[in-house]
């Protein structure tokens, strides 16, 4: 584990144009394609914060609010929202942009939990997350609430 990361390391933005091979029979992009991209963006944000490899432990939730069309630019914004001893939660927002007009729509939001791995492949420590802005503190508090809910669900 290296030095604590810079603030910008906790966030990653990826963009990709959606192609016909990404579409379902209705001409919209497959939800699974968006899920894979979201997991990739989330894992990168988690690895950059942790300073080590991570594995996806779970996708807490993902909502689909607006369809994505072939030709749209999908923009994924992944931010570390909460950090535990060896795990991290990452919030991924997905927007679809009509490239020519520049019009964007929020299409999806997802929450992933990752576990950091040490060199032996076992869970390893993660640097703390220090929310500084009002938005970061609100994101952290919401993530803690989701974590409490996940723990309560596991105890059932």
| Domain segments of the chain as ranges | 7-154
**Fold of the domain built from segment(s) 7-154:** Thiol Ester Dehydrase; Chain A (3.10.129)
- pLDDT band (50, 70, 90) for residue 8: low
Tens-digit pLDDT profile for residues 86-121: 999 999 999 999 999 999 999 999 999 999 999 999
Stated pTM of the model: 0.88
For 130, the 3-state DSSP assignment is coil
Helix (H) / strand (E) element for 40: namely: helix 31-50
- Residue 131 gets the label, from left (phi > 0), alpha (psi -120 to 50) or beta, of beta
- pLDDT band (50, 70, 90) for residue 33: very high
Which residue is listed with tokens 């963009």?
15
């Amino acid at each position: 584990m290296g030095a604590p990361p810079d603030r910008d390391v906790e966030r990653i933005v990826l963009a990709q144009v959606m192609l016909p091979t990404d579409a379902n029979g209705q001409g919209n992009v497959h939800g699974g394609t968006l899920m894979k991209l979201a997991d990739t963006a989330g894992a990168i944000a988690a690895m950059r914060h942790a300073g080590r490899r991570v594995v996806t432990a779970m996708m807490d939730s993902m909502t689909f609010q607006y369809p994505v069309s072939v030709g749209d630019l999908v923009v994924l914004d992944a931010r570390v929202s909460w950090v535990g001893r060896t795990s991290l939660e990452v919030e991924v927002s997905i927007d679809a942009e009509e490239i020519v007009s520049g019009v964007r729509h929020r299409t999806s939001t997802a929450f992933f939990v990752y576990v950091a791995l040490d060199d032996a492949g076992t869970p390893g420590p993660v640097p703390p997350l220090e929310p500084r802005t009002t938005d970061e503190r609100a994101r952290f508090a919401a993530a803690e609430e989701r974590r409490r809910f996940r723990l309560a669900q596991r105890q059932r």
